[in-house]
Amino acid sequence: MFDTLYECFWSDSLWLPVGLTWADLEDKEGRVYAKASNLYVTLPYALAFLLIRYLFERWIATPLAVSAGIKQRVYLKAEENSILEFYYTTQCRNPAQVDIDGLSKKSSLSTRQVERWFRRRRRQDRPGVLKKFTEASWRFVFYLSAFIGGMVALHDKEWLYDTREVWTGFPKQTMLESQYWYYILEMSFYGCLLFSVAFDVKRKDFKEQIIHHLATLVLLSFSWCANYIRVGTLVMLIHDASDVFLESAKLFNYAKWEKTCKTLFVLFAIVFMVTRLIIFPFWLIHCTWVYPVLYYPAFFGYYFFNTMLVVLLCLHIFWAYLILRMIRKFMFGTLTKDERSDNEEEDGDESSSTQDEVEQRHKPAGSLVADKKYDKNGGSRSLSPPENICWSKTVC
């Protein structure tokens, strides 16, 4: 059964135009073709990228953030409470008033104490500016390096300037060494992003990011195996172009360089709209949709490849909508954060948390033990200070 599925998956009719077989793409006559087995190397390379990222963020990005004046705040920690923790992790991070009343009865705490516990617990999970800065630094360095490397690899290729040349001699197009490394490193990087998604900063477009990474990996893998490498390099190049400005704008935003941030954001918006909403659909998708059928009849791979490109285009439209929202805030207000940032926290959390900290700071040490709070039933009970309390402060 496995052999049957294997043969069906690698069927010539699925991957190649009519009249061609995998035997036609074997290395011969000085031509070297991409092979599916080459993709196995992206797994260890992705793990290597994780290690490089860890070292980069620790030894380069973090000192750079400190020199830019970025400090990480440490907030009061929520006291250990199994009932509230279970609700927080399984039900909701921001419970309604009815739920707070119920949790108050179950945990034997007042409603105010329950509200304070959830505020502090949410703040524990909120990523700090330092973490955001180091992540953006890593992505900026890669996208900049990838874009420069892509331009070096493609600047003298005729298909960069005339997309009809993408299909000249297809699929019997030899693979260049520059194309090999461009593909392998890009795929390894996106694999690294998938591996690190569990501990990266969560954003509102988290699901869309996962879909994007998976669609990109599927698209690149298919284009590699079917020898769509020329158009694949063009797709990677235009995607990296706008990402460079996005990540650099984030860096200056976190460092509070507002004028530089706004300038870079304007450049990012322009480059994004031009590359993702004009060049991508009207040049590249047009290139893959119109020109191939002039050389051979449409086949499954033709439809599959264009479908994946359309999926990416839909994601581009979604992100363009978020960018336009940011532009509106940029023009009529103050742009303070990425529209994709996770904003589950209420604006009142910070002021309430600050008030809690002020109350705790100005309370005599002995009164923490002797403090009596009356619950809603009129009773009172003694509160002792939490063992893991940590005063809010700034650290380098």
pLDDT value at residue 365:
46
pLDDT given for residue 340 in this prediction: 52
**What pLDDT is attached to residue 353?**
46
Q: What band does 75 get if pLDDT is binned at 50, 70 and 90?
A: low
pLDDT tier at 74, thresholds 50, 70, 90: low
CATH 1.10.10.60 in the chain is located at 82-125
pLDDT-based confidence at residue 355 (cuts at 50, 70, 90): very low
367 pLDDT exceeds 50? no
Q: What pLDDT, on a 0 to 100 scale, did the predictor assign at position 206?
A: 72
Enter the CATH code of domain 82-125. Answer: 1.10.10.60
Using CA atoms, how far apart are residues 396 and 201, in angstroms rounded to an integer? 20
Residue 352 has pLDDT above 60, yes or no: no
What angle do the packed helices 97-107 and 111-125 form, to 10 degrees? 110
Mean of the pLDDT values across residues 27-46? 89
DSSP annotation of 164: G
Q: Report the pLDDT value the prediction gives residue 31, as an integer from 0 to 100.
A: 86
Q: Say if CB 201 and CB 127 are below 8 A apart.
A: yes
pLDDT tier for residue 334 given thresholds of 50, 70 and 90: low
Alpha carbon 249 to chain centroid, angstroms:
15
Nearest CA among 41, 18, 36 for reference residue 26:
36
The pLDDT-based confidence of 357 (bands split at 50, 70, 90) is very low
pLDDT over threshold 90, residue 48: yes
> Percent of the chain, pLDDT > 90?
41
- At residue 14, the pLDDT reads 83
Cβ neighbours of residue 71 under 8 Å, at least 6 residues apart?
129, 130, 394, 395, 396
Res 200: pLDDT: 79
- Between CA 315 and CA 311 the distance in angstroms is 6
pLDDT of 229 higher than 80: yes
Q: Cβ distance 340 to 204 under 8 Å? A: yes
Q: Give the C-alpha separation, 135 to 57, whole Å.
A: 7
Q: How does the average pLDDT of the chain come out, rounded?
A: 81
Main-chain phi, psi angles of 2, to 5 degrees: -60, -40
Nearest to 268 by CA among 200, 339, 189: 339
What is the C-alpha separation between 291 and 294, in angstroms, rounded? 5
Quickly list H helices, the chain: 2-9, 12-15, 42-56, 62-67, 82-90, 97-107, 111-125, 129-154, 177-196, 206-225, 229-254, 258-274, 286-290, 300-332, 347-361, 365-370
Q: How many residues does the chain have?
A: 396
Give the model's pLDDT for residue 337: 54
- In this prediction, residue 342 carries a pLDDT of 46
What DSSP state is assigned to residue 357?
A: H
Q: What is the mean pLDDT of residues 308-316?
A: 91
- Give, as one character, the DSSP assignment of residue 282: I
Confirm if 87 and 104 have CB atoms less than 8 A apart.
Answer: no
User: For residue 163, what pLDDT is reported?
Assistant: 92
- Residue 147 pLDDT exceeds 80: yes
